[in-house]
Amino acid sequence: MTAHIFSVLVEDSPGVLSRVTGLFSRRGFNIESLAVGHCEQPDTSRITIVVTGNDVQIEQVKKQLNKLIEVIKVLDVSEYEHVERELALIKIRAEPGTARSEIMQIAGIFRAKIIDVGLDTLVVEVTGDSGKITAIEDLLKPYGILELVRTGKIALQRGSALVSSGK
Amino acid sequence: MKSGAQILIEGLKEQGVDIIFGYPGGVVLPIYDELYDADIRHILVRHEQAAIHAADGYARASGKTGVCLATSGPGACNLVTGLATAYMDSIPVVAITGQVPTSLLGNDAFQESDITGITMPVTKHNYLVQDARDLKRIIREAFYIAGTGRKGPVLIDIPKDVSTAMVPDTDGPDDQPRLRGYKPRCQGHSRMIQRAVDLLLQAKRPIIYAGGGVILSDASTELVTLAERLCMPVTTTLMGLGCIPTDHPLNLGMLGMHGTEYANYAITESDLLFSIGVRFDDRVTGKIEAFAPQAKVIHIDIDPAEIGKNKQPDVPIVGDAKSVLTDIIKKIPESCPHPEWSETVAGWKKNHPLRYNSDGKLYPQFVIKTLAKILADKGVIVSEVGQNQMWTAQWFKFTRPRQWISSGGLGTMGYGFPASMGAHFACPDQPVVVLAGDGSFQMNIQELGTVAQYNIPVKVIVLNNQFLGMVRQWQQLFYEHRYSYTELPEVHFERIAKAYGIEGATVTRASDVEAAIRTALLHPGPYVLDIRVEREENVFPMVPAGANISEMIVGHHTEHEEG
Ligand SMILES: Cc1cc2nc3c(=O)[nH]c(=O)nc-3n(C[C@H](O)[C@H](O)[C@H](O)COP(=O)(O)OP(=O)(O)OC[C@H]3O[C@@H](n4cnc5c(N)ncnc54)[C@H](O)[C@@H]3O)c2cc1C
Ligand SMILES: Cc1ncc(C[n+]2csc(CCOP(=O)(O)OP(=O)(O)O)c2C)c(N)n1
């Protein structure tokens, strides 16, 4: 069982997301994370889905996705050299004083940004791979994480290769 | 300027549609108004489920795409079972539903249901049309998707205001299909084809396992040619029946749970399993690890997702069966006999024929055998689901593809009778006969109204055992005879038929069967023949669910062999 990152190019039409997610739940595949947005081509969105499974299951996921009429292209990015990122926003309890400066130091080490400062809270924005985000989360936990939100993973192949159109 | 409804009807005609099965309602009034003087025939069914089964039966018998029409909400929801039935068996159907006006969508308006949401898992694709200007393109796409690649049902949901909207009648680039993500593949990969040829020429005990894909691809001629050239026995799935004539010397009949003993033995002993347009369904394979355990596997399928789904092939070939078989035949110019293997298979066939008792009682197998004798090579045979379906599959003598119409994947009781109406319109010159159980027939028996109204001359033979026979059989064999809610009271189907103005008869003796069937077939209109068969007869052979297919329960039948 390994995690795979599927980069799925789809028609930008209503219902396409429920077709894709419906397929996962119907066939018993588990989605670990999901990110959707427009991409470089007009009328086209890119869905990045992280799914774990054995080889046979992963092969089925890919083939079943390809069968959806509105799916233009499916690539298992994790099979290739690639870059991947997630973004997290973390709201932490941070009374003025030592706590606050320690948090700001930690953020600095992780190249995270403080994007909101409240009377006794801070919001930290961090991007990186999952490991980095988990690491900063662990370090910030003792100060009291009030809220945390993580985007799904997004990824691109390294170099000049493209997830171009055409199945 | 044209209305959406006009564009729809013209779009259907452009696709060659000359008949649709439907049922009206509020939001499809504009479409029905357009149909009033269109030269497309509309058959008014008695339940929307029947409309889609009829469209599906039409598609199976003709090879064309069937069309049905229903109103929003309850009408659309009544199509769901039919869509799932067509989807499981890869049947091309376009279902058109009305929808509440776009301004009310999502409002829980009167008779609103999210039919595109509901049917997503049981359609190949579906559309909610938001703008009448998209309609022309969507109709073209829908038919293209339904009828190409791995075929299947497509639903088009049309809000009422889209039907009434007046839009310019264009035929520009925007009206052409725009399907970036849909490119069905037909041609097989040449290297894989060569590997298949090599295996075929090396094999000592090859067998063909052919299914619905051969029928869908119209590849029966190629299949028989190749089988003859390589002297390979052929076994078919329930869905593949007819792709080789039952009486062909190489044919081993159906395999699987209720397959013939010799087909299941041959599969088990084979060293090469040449699988064409099949999906290794669990009703066929039984315990998958023990299915063709010694064989190398070649798998031809147009749907890449079927390859390796249940069994990993040694040679996967993605492509249309007809195209791939044609390529293979070209590379095998000479015949290549396997005398020893042929002899072994012939031995099984001789020593383990299908059987039933010959004690003079009225057995369902006898009814089907008699029907086969009378029809010879004529007729379209439609079954319901259950024992009636299995006995027909085992005992009818099929002579050609598209002669056999049956719900295999979903096993939808109530499918057969409505499907037979569609089969009649596809093959108006053929006698169409439904083999039904008394349970299944009562699931869409209201269609007697439709066949009476349009004088659709289908013949329903009810193998009346006053049981949900197939379930009763399982209860007998695996639940210690505890017949929990499977007994049905006596129903006089002849009288029901007559109430609809349809002719019928009731038969209780074996000696009357032949004459009764002849009378039914000679009758110019629809006919219901209620045949009171032995109530607790079982379908054998039978592979218990999940068992090895060579381990069949064969029953205790005495005489009366096939032939
Ligand atoms: C009560 C009951 C009992 C049953 N018992 C049995 C039994 O004993 N034996 C049995 O065989 N079945 C039995 N069935 C039927 C069974 O459930 C399946 O429906 C059937 O076995 C599937 O047939 P198939 O493998 O031919 O696939 P189909 O469902 O017909 O699928 C066709 C396959 O061909 C592919 N295909 C489609 N078009 C093409 C093309 N152009 N070129 C190449 N490939 C193509 C498709 O992708 C698919 O994989 C039973 C059903 C019921 C209801
Ligand atoms: C709609 C539906 N409901 C339930 C079933 C489960 N089922 C399969 S066979 C069968 C019995 C069929 O009885 P009948 O039509 O009388 O045919 P017989 O088996 O007696 O020939 C049932 C209930 C089904 N296949 N379809």
B160 counts as catalytic = yes
Closest CA in chain B for residue A19: B120
Instruction: Indicate whether A72 and A97 sit together in one domain.
Output: no
CA B434 to CA B417: how far, in whole Å? 6
CA distances in angstroms from B445 to A22, B332, B449, listed in the order given: 35, 51, 9
CA A11 to CA B180: how far, in whole Å? 8
Instruction: Indicate whether B425 and B484 sit together in one domain.
Output: yes
Question: Per-residue pLDDT tens for B84-113?
Answer: 999 999 999 999 999 999 999 999 999 999
Instruction: Indicate whether B417 and B326 sit together in one domain.
Output: no
Rounded average pLDDT over B403-418 = 98
- At B483, list the tokens: 């017949």
CA distance A21 to chain B (A): 11
Question: Per-residue pLDDT tens for B178-236?
Answer: 999 999 989 999 999 999 999 999 999 999 999 999 999 999 999 999 999 999 999 99
Evaluate whether B379 touches B218 at the Cβ level (below 8 Å): no
DSSP 8-state symbol, B544: P
Instruction: Indicate whether B328 and B419 sit together in one domain.
Output: no
Q: Which of B124, B151, B160, B349 is catalytic?
A: B160
Strand order in the sheet with A31-38: A31-38, A44-53, A2-11, A71-76
The pLDDT, as a whole number, for residue B457 is 98
Mutate to test the pocket of ligand 1, among B145, B216, B220 (most ligand atoms within 8 A of CB): B216
Q: Could you give the 3-state DSSP secondary structure of residue B548?
A: strand
Q: Which of B34, B48, B141, B537 is catalytic?
A: B48
Evaluate whether B466 touches B488 at the Cβ level (below 8 Å): yes
- Domain containing A144 equals 83-154
pTM for the full predicted model? 0.96
Give every CB contact of residue B533 below 8 A, 6+ residues apart in sequence.
B362, B363, B364, B367, B463, B464, B465
Evaluate whether B118 touches B63 at the Cβ level (below 8 Å): no
Question: Per-residue pLDDT tens for B307-357?
Answer: 999 999 999 999 999 999 999 999 998 888 899 999 999 999 999 999 999
Closest CA to B82 of B28, B38, B45: B45
Evaluate whether B437 touches B456 at the Cβ level (below 8 Å): no
CA distances in angstroms from B3 to A62, A88, B7, B166, listed in the order given: 41, 51, 6, 4
Ligand 2 centre distance from Cα of residue B384 (Å) = 8
Cβ contact A64–B305 (<8 Å): yes
The pLDDT, as a whole number, for residue A166 is 46
Give every CB contact of residue B329 below 8 A, 6+ residues apart in sequence.
B222, B225, B226, B229
Instruction: Indicate whether B374 and B324 sit together in one domain.
Output: no
ipTM: 0.91
N- to C-terminal Cα distance for chain B? 64
Closest CA in chain B for residue A57: B309
Instruction: Indicate whether B382 and B526 sit together in one domain.
Output: yes
Closest CA in chain A for residue B312: A56
Boundary (domain end) residue, out of A61, A79, A97: A79
Residue B247 burial by Cβ neighbours in a 10 Å radius (0-12, 13-18, 19+):
exposed
The answer to the question of residue A149 being in a domain is yes
Q: Which range has the top average pLDDT, A9-18, A19-28, B123-132?
A: B123-132
Evaluate whether B1 touches B166 at the Cβ level (below 8 Å): yes
Instruction: Indicate whether B440 and B499 sit together in one domain.
Output: yes
CA distance B309 to chain A (A): 7
The answer to the question of residue B547 being in a domain is no
The answer to the question of residue A123 being in a domain is yes
**Looking at the complex, does the CB of residue A67 fall below 8 Å from at least one CB of chain B?**
yes
pLDDT over 80 (residue A96): yes
The answer to the question of residue B24 being in a domain is yes
The answer to the question of residue B183 being in a domain is no
Ligand 1 centre distance from Cα of residue B96 (Å) = 26
Q: How many domains are contained in chain B?
A: 3
**Residue A83 pairs with which residues in a beta bridge?**
A156
Instruction: Indicate whether A75 and A9 sit together in one domain.
Output: yes
The pLDDT, as a whole number, for residue B557 is 64
Give me the CATH number covering residue B145: 3.40.50.970
CA A22 to CA A44: how far, in whole Å? 19
Poorest-pLDDT segment among A49-53, B27-31, B471-475: A49-53
Residue B183 with chain A: CB contacts under 8 Å: 166-167
- At B288, list the tokens: 């998958």
